[in-house]
Structures are given as C-alpha cells and as structure tokens.
Amino acid sequence: MIPELLDVIVRQPSLQGQGVAVFTLEDAQGRALPAFSAGAHVDLHLPGGLVRPYSLCSDPADTRRYRLGVLKDPASRGGSVAVHQHLLVDGARLAIGAPRNLFALVEDAPHSVLVGGGIGITPMLAMAWRLHALGASFELHYCARSRAQAAFLQDLASAPWAARVQLHFDDEGAAAALQPRAVLAGAPAGRHVYVCGPSGFMDWVLAEAAAAGLSEAQRHREYFGAPATAAPAGGDQAFEIELRRSGKTVQVGATQSLLAALRGVGIHVSVSCEQGVCGTCACTVLAGEPEHRDAYLTDEERAANDQILVCCSRARSPRLVLDL
Ligand code: FES
C-alpha cells in the first residue's frame, strides 16, 4: 500500500540558525493543500528513495502552503542531508504524503505548555498558532544551545502570540534555564504539556512534568521515528505467517524480520523508510494479533489490529494471516 502522494514545489527556502533549512511547500498546480491539524507531519519523498517525516510548523488555518524546518544532521541516515542538498532551491519539486498527526493537541485543555528543544520547536509553532486561533491559554518555551544556533526567532518575535514565548539559551546563564517542574507546578489544574526535541531532553521534561503532578494523559511527546520497543522477556519469538492470496506459509525466525521472511519466499512488499514511520509497507491482517512496533499507526488503528507495518512489526499470536 502506497499512501497517496501530493506534488509540491519549494518556495522561500532559507538557512536559519545553525544548519536549519526553512522552506514552504505549495501545491504544484496552485491548489489548496489538504488541511492539517497542529502537531501533524508529512513524509517527504526525497531523491534516492528516502522517505522522512517532518513536522509542519505553519499556521494550520493556512492551507495555501506548508512550512517546515529541517536541521542538517550528518550523523542521520541521510534524510536531512538530502533535504539540505535538494530543497534549498526555490522551485524544487518533490512528492509528499498527506499530513498525519500522531501528536495531536487536546484543544479544550484549560492551559497548554509547549516545550521545544532545538529543532523540536517546529510542531510547537503550529500548536501555538492553533491555540491562539482558539483563544486558548498557553505558553511556549524554546530551548536552544545559543541564540545564534536557534532558528525561527523572527517568526517567534513577530507572531501575534509573541508575548507567550519564553526563550532559554544554554549560554545565557542559569537564570535563562527552563525549570519545567516549576513552570508546570504553577500552571492551572488540568494543564497539558507537549514536548519535542532530543530524546534525553524529552525524557527530562516529561519526568519533571510527572513530578509536578501531571498524569500520563497530560504529558505528550513527539516521536521522530518508531519508539524503541523492548523485546518481550525472553526475547523475540518465532512466529508463522500465512499468506492467504499466495497460498504460502512462512516461518519468521526469532532474529529475523517479517520483511526479510517475506522476501525470502519471493513476496514483494513496497517499502520506503524501513523504520516504521511512512506507512508504505502496511499490509492487511486477516487473522492473528500483530505486535505493532511502528510510529505510523494511530492508537485506534493499532487497536483495530487489521493492518501491520511489515518493516518493523512482529506478531503477538503464534500465527498471523496476511492478505498477501
Ligand atoms: Fe515505512 Fe514500513 S517502510 S513504515
């Protein structure tokens, strides 16, 4: 299954802070783009067959364009480097997936605390626009190593909600440091916190939020890839797959991926990210219980147990029947 793609053009590319490519995407035919909700991402289909998800940082009320910011990370698997190589050009053309949201706002919360660490500011910008449009109570904290390294400072300063923004730069002394526990302890009851950034940063903010009394339902984090899933006690188990349409039965070894087992018997499944984030490899489950290890399916889709992303997921039941 390959999700429907949109043909878009890069506009207004710029390099901000230290190594952040900021650009907008417009429909290649000049039409409105699909609406998105704050916290959504799109998959960029990049040269070389790479597919990578990036958060949308523009105002969700504006469907004429999507805005994105991508930090160049030479240590990554190539997605951000490809963005910097190919998309910092006005008029560059590419395909993207439709927006999907795995980091949605609770829009009726009495107060929202948005915390972006480094490039993790991007979904917070869309959330701030949305909360502002709703007339909702919120505050946005942006943490970065230094003012020189930070992107989007002009956007933050000129937004109609600029007064709700607090900047925290590591090189500006202890007084400038974010104190998440104090911020959250002082916020109204029923407040929610949203955090995006390096995983250690998110762990720290959410631990502080828990210490400030926020329940799990009030604590939200963004995933850039499939969350690391602990193998069950005793390690991964072998399982069997029946391929209903091909009439084949395949054994998946304990140390083998489902995708590798399928390839081993000549079954082709389209893949892109092979990381559980793009949805390209989704297959229909006819029977059995998948063990979802992706970051693509929503909670509802997981609970339905009628599809599986074969690049990363396994089985809870000894046997799965797939529509392949
Ligand atoms: Fe992207 Fe499996 S190939 S989710």
Q: Which fold has domain 239-322?
A: Ubiquitin-like (UB roll) (3.10.20)
Express each pLDDT in 48-85 by its tens digit.
Answer: 878 888 999 999 999 999 999 999 987 777 889 999 99
Question: How many Å lie between the centroid of ligand 1 and the Cα of residue 322?
Answer: 16
Percent of residues, the chain, with pLDDT higher than 70:
96
Query: Does the C-beta of 273 come closer than 6 Å to ligand 1?
Result: yes
Residue 287 near residue 262, CB atoms below 8 Å: no
Average pLDDT for 297-319:
91
Is there an atom of ligand 1 within 6 Å of 278 CB?
yes
Give me ligand 1 centre to Cα 36, in Å. 21
Q: How confident is the model at residue 110 (pLDDT cuts 50, 70, 90)?
A: very high
Are 197 and 180 in contact by the 8 Å Cβ rule? The answer is no
Chain centroid to Cα 139, Å, comes to 21
Judge whether residue 273 has pLDDT over 80.
Answer: no
Categorize the per-residue pLDDT at 224 as very low, low, confident or very high, splitting at 50, 70 and 90.
low
Nearest Cα residue to atom 4 of ligand 1: 276
Identify the CATH number of the domain defined by range 6-101: 2.40.30.10
Distance, CA 269 to ligand 1 centroid (Å)? 10
Q: What is the 3-state secondary structure of the chain?
A: CCCCEEEEEEEEEEEECCCEEEEEEEECCCCCCCCCCCCEEEEEEECCCEEEEEECCCCCCCCCCEEEEEECCCCCCCHHHHHHHHCCCCCCEEEEECCEECCCCCCCCCCEEEEEEHHHHHHHHHHHHHHHHHCCCEEEEEEECCCCCCCCHHHHHHCCCHHHEEEEEHHHCHHHCCCHHHHHHCCCCCCEEEEECCHHHHHHHHHHHHHCCCCHHHEEECCCCCCCCCCCCCCCCCEEEEECCCCEEEEECCCCCHHHHHHHCCCCCCCCCCCCCCCCCEEEEEECCEECCCCCCCHHHHHHCCEEECCCCEECCCEEEECC
CATH code assigned to 112-222? 3.40.50.80
Q: How far does residue 264's CA lie from ligand 1's centre (Å)?
A: 18
CA gap 113, 129 in Å, rounded:
13
Equal CATH topology for 6-101 and 112-222:
no
Q: Which atom of ligand 1 is nearest to the CA of 294?
A: 4
Q: What is the pLDDT of residues 11-50, one digit of tens each?
A: 999 999 999 999 999 999 999 999 999 999 998 999 887 8
Does the beta carbon of 274 sit less than 6 angstroms from any atom of ligand 1? yes
Identify the pLDDT of residue 50: 84
Residue entry with tokens 């082709």: 268
Q: Give me 160's structure tokens.
A: 């109609």
Higher pLDDT, 224 or 267: 267
The ranges assigned to domains in the chain are: 6-101, 112-222, 239-322
Among the atoms of ligand 1, which is closest to the Cα of residue 310?
2
* Mean pLDDT to the nearest integer, 101-110: 93
Any atom of ligand 1 within 6 Å of the Cβ of 225: no
Least confident of 154-158, 181-185, 251-255, 293-297: 293-297
| CA of residue 270 to ligand 1 center, whole Å | 8
Q: How far is CA 102 from CA 41, 89, 225, in A?
A: 8, 29, 11
CA separation, residue 86 to residues 9, 46, 57, 92, 278 (Å)? 12, 8, 20, 7, 20
User: What is the percent of the chain with per-residue pLDDT over 90, rounded to a whole number?
Assistant: 76
CA 107–ligand 1 middle distance (angstroms): 30
Atom of ligand 1 nearest to the CA of 312: 2
- Site to substitute for ligand 1 among 77, 278, 293, most atoms within 8 A of C-beta: 278
Indicate whether residue 96 lines ligand 1 (CB < 6 A): no
Gap between the Cα atoms of 208 and 203, Å rounded: 9
Among the ranges given (139-143, 172-176, 281-285), the one the predictor scored with the smallest mean pLDDT: 172-176
Return the ligand 1 atom nearest residue 271 CA: 3
Do the strands 219-221 and 192-196 form a parallel or antiparallel pair, or are they unpaired? parallel
